[in-house]
Amino acid sequence: MSLATDFGAAYTAICAGVVYSIAPAANVLVLSDEITPYCVREGAMLLRQALPYLPVGVHVGIVDPGVGTPRLPVAIETGRGDVLVGPDNGLLVPAAGKLGGAVRAHALEDPAYRLPEVSTSFHGRDVFSPAAAHIASGVAVSDLGAEVEPRPLDVPPPSVGRGELTVPVLYTDRFGSLVLGAEREDLAAAFGELAPGAPLEVAWSGTAARAVPVTFEETFGGVAPGAPLLWIDSSGWLGLAVNQGSARDAFGLAEVEFLTLRTGAGRPAGD
């Protein structure tokens, strides 16, 4: 079983303790307790990237800014045989797609599979962890509640034009690199096959509107320290980074939601 949360260590440990109290033989891996608070997209991308490399099992994901609202708690059974447990806010759906797709999903409704008292603000402890522990102990997903259709993750698709690609920012990682909602085929559709060192321009609007030259690279070592680059990360997403630095801080991108890539004229200064 795995746990991925934005709770920090203490609250995540409480969730693990609830699992152990119901399923003492469980083996609980804390995949992360450091997801950026409230950042559903970041949590979804972590689960999408990580879960294919974990054994088949029960995986709990909790980034839940809608806790206490009418949003549903759900369990999603996947084609690979995993069960994903968490809020029905899109968090679990990208990972389910990487695990053979969602076979069925059920709301966590039956009080038999919750703690006796359920708070309005800590469903990770009171709803998700107990349900996951019971599933790990052999309870069928269909026993938990009514069948539901999971809500997809709210991410705009990339917009591909001739010599131009506009992409959403999925999240910013701990190095300050921006992970973008486009993949290698989207780059190819806009620009053709890009060789390492191919020049592009990255632009954005808003109060910090700007355009900067950048090159497409296979590795960070393709540019000098302090220089920017675009690359395909280990999960297949396009990323904007600064070698040994923070693209977010260097370019003031903390609040930027979309970037536009265009064909560039040359390598950026400092490379």
- Taking the domains of the chain in order of start, what are their residue ranges? 2-143, 159-263
18, amino acid identity: V
What pLDDT, on the 0 to 100 scale, is given for residue 270?
39
- For residue range 166-184, list pLDDT tens digits in order: 999 999 999 999 999 999 9
250-255 mean pLDDT: 93
Calculate mean pLDDT across residues 208-218: 92
- For 55-112, how does the pLDDT look when each residue is reduced to its tens digit (9 = 90+)? 999 999 999 999 999 999 999 999 999 999 999 999 999 999 999 999 999 999 999 9
Per-residue pLDDT band at 206 (split at 50, 70, 90) = confident
Q: What is the pTM of this model?
A: 0.91
Return the bridge partners of 29, or none: 2
Contact 6, 89 (CB under 8 A): no
Q: What is the DSSP secondary-structure string of 37-102?
A: TT-HHHHHHHHHHHGGGSPSSEEEEE--TTTTSSPPEEEEEETTS-EEEEESSSSSHHHHHHTT-E
23 close to 136: Cβ distance less than 8 angstroms: yes
CATH topology of domain 159-263: Elongation Factor Tu (Ef-tu); domain 3 (2.40.30)
Question: pLDDT of 30-46, one tens digit each?
Answer: 999 999 999 999 999 99
Cα Rg of the chain, angstroms: 21
Q: Is the pLDDT of residue 266 over 80?
A: no
**What CATH number should be reported for the domain whose range is 2-143?**
3.40.50.10790
